[in-house]
Structure formats: C-alpha cells, structure tokens
Amino acid sequence: MDILTISSVNLLLGLSFFLSLFLYSKNSTELKHFRIFSLAGLCLALNSLIGIVNNIVTLPIYLMPALANAATVGLHCIVLLGVLTLCKLHLRVIWFAIPVLLSFSLSFFEPFKTEMAMRLIANYLLIMMLNALSFKALQSVNKSTIAFTVFKAVLIFNVLQLFSRGLLYVLFELEISQLAQHLIVHQFGWFAFTIYCSGLLASCLLLLVESQQKELERKANTDPLTGLLNRNDLNSILNKEISRCIRQGEAITVMMLDVDFFKRINDTYGHSTGDVALQHIAELLRQHFRNYDLLFRIGGEEFLACLPNVDAPQARCKLEQLRQTFLQQPVKAQEEIPITVSMGWVSTRQKLDGALLLKRADEALYQAKKLGRNKVLEAEAL
C-alpha cells in the first residue's frame, strides 16, 4: 500500500475519530475526556492532509515536515491529556505545548533540518515518553476493564514499533545499516501509525460502551425523582457494605425513615407539592450524611440510610440531629409546610444478613410511629 493511500485512509480515520467522539460527548460535562480524545482525530486528519498534499506538490518546510511532525506529537499530547482527565489526574495544559513546539522547531535547526533520521529519532523519543506517561496514568487507577486493557496494549504496541524503527535510524546514522532507508520501512511507519490510531479509536469506543453501561446501571438503581438509590439490588448492596465493614472491624448502622402524615400533604397541596417535599427530604438527607453513606428511597415516603463505620452512640446522636433538622427546615412550596419524620434504626458489628437488619430497623420504625411519630427509635442491639 503506497503512502498516498495510507494518508487518505488516515484522513478519513481522523475525521471519523473526531466526529464520533465529539458529537457523542459535546453536551455532557462528565464526558470531557471524550471531547479531548476527539481532538486527536483532528491532529491525525491534519497530519494526513499535509502528507497527501505534499505527495502532489512540495510544501514549504514550516508545513512539511515542521507542522506535520508537530501534529503527530500533538496527537500524543492530546491522548495523554485525555487519559489524565479520564483517570481524574491533573497537569496544567501549558505543559503539553512544550513537546509540540519542540517538535515544530526541530525542523529549522541542524542537524534535524537536513537529516530526516535525526528528526525522526527526536520525535520518536518525545512520543515514546508521552505514551509511557499515558500508560503509567492508566496503570495508576488499577482498572482491569476491556477498554483499559486494550488502551494499554495499543500504547505498548506504539512504543515497541517506534523503538524498533528508531533503532534502525540510529544504526543508519552510525553507518552500520542502511535498512532504515528502505521504502518498506517508511511505508510500515505510516501503516503502524494507522494501526495505532485505529487502536486508539477502538479503545475510546470501548470506553464509550462501558460508560453507557454504567449510566444504564446507575439509572436502573436510581430513583428518578430524588436522585437517591432505589430498592433495586438493595439487599445485595447492603450485604456488600456489611461484609466490608465487618472485614475492617467497623460497626454499621441501618436507618429507616418515614415522613409523618405524608398523605395529608398530597391531599391538601397536590401531588406536585408532594414531589417537592420528597425532593426536599432527599436533599436534607444528602446534606446531613457523608458522601459515602448509602441513601435509598425504598417506597413512596420511605427512605433508608446505610451508615458504615457508625456505631450505636454515634447513630443515636446523628439521627436525633437529623430529626431536629426536619423540624427546623419546612418544605417551601406555595407556602412553608412543616414536616416531621419517624426513624427506626439498628447498629451492629456482627456479620448479619442485610434482610435481617432491614427487618429490625423496620420494626423499630413501626414502634416509633405507634408511639406518636416524630421519634427516633433504636432496635434491640444485635
């Protein structure tokens, strides 16, 4: 396959890379890394376009090789920036301009200006360094999903093929071997670049699929009105958290909450106001508990909280404070609507089934309502 054909394929690949990732992620703040990755497609398209035009007419040095090489290095800088964003790691964007400017400027100074081998060796070193940093970032998050595995394999492939070709150019400069000048080696370089970029696109598409699967799982387990977890997989989630706490020698508290006389709110103010009240309750729960506590809406006006590393004395204090919070912060709708809540809870350090803890907390909640509501009642210790 000649270089013009490979460049044309890379141009189409780059545009597909950009459009597929950018259009999918343009309206989402959580998919910022895909928008960054999409820019790599533009760099690939620019590099390929310069290669196609240069195959027809001779371009000035600032376009070929200067801008073409800078676009290639820029592609790998963008991949690194996307990986860092994906892994929630941070590096100032200004640092990514340094290798791009360095690659661009090399073409104007000797010996890089006149010796292609020296220019390629320098750019290969820059790219291998960027790929190594990307690989290290992916390793640091310790994820073994298919997308991460493929991504790391693509980076390893690129480093190995660049190292092999770079070694041939070093041997050429040392006048040990002339193999680097062979047309097949040059064509292989373009072809390997195509394989690498195709692998990047495949990795990004796999990341998209995994992201969509996670979003579907999140929606399946989330109450759409309040944003809290729903009762799907409640027992499974609870049992996992109990096992984790017991393994680490921590207590765990399970609390069930019911809004007192909630039907009156619906009957008096309407169901839309009832929805506002439920959202208000969910927000107060989020504010009161820690970001790693598990909060569920398990029924119409029933909520559940799973509090890891919270023992009985801590729970007693924390839940009484919560009851007072509801008294002090009425629902704000057409008018301020006071609400009270009843709570039943249980705390344990034993490895018990989640269903048993739910049953005991529910029994305590029933007693709290039976005793007049607006109460926090502890189940018998387990």
Catalytic residues: 301
CB 250 within 8 A of CB 238: no
Strand-pair partners of 377 = 344
Q: What is each CA distance from 67 to 21, 104, 124, 270, 291, in whole angstroms?
A: 24, 6, 15, 65, 48
User: Distance between CA atoms of 39 and 21, rounded to whole angstroms?
Assistant: 9
Q: What is each CA distance from 34 to 18, 27, 127, 136, 259, in whole angstroms?
A: 9, 11, 21, 19, 42
Query: Residue 282: how many CB atoms within 10 A of its CB?
Result: 18
Q: What is each CA distance from 371 to 248, 287, 346, 365, in whole angstroms?
A: 36, 28, 18, 10
Q: Produce one character per residue of 163-183: b if its CB has 16 or more CB atoms within 10 Å, e if not.
A: eebbebbbebeeeeeeebeee
* DSSP type of residue 225: T
**Residues, the chain:** 382
List CB contacts of 252: < 8 A, sequence separation 6 or more. Answer: 241, 242, 245, 246, 306, 307, 308, 309, 310, 347, 348, 349, 357
CB 340 within 8 A of CB 374: yes
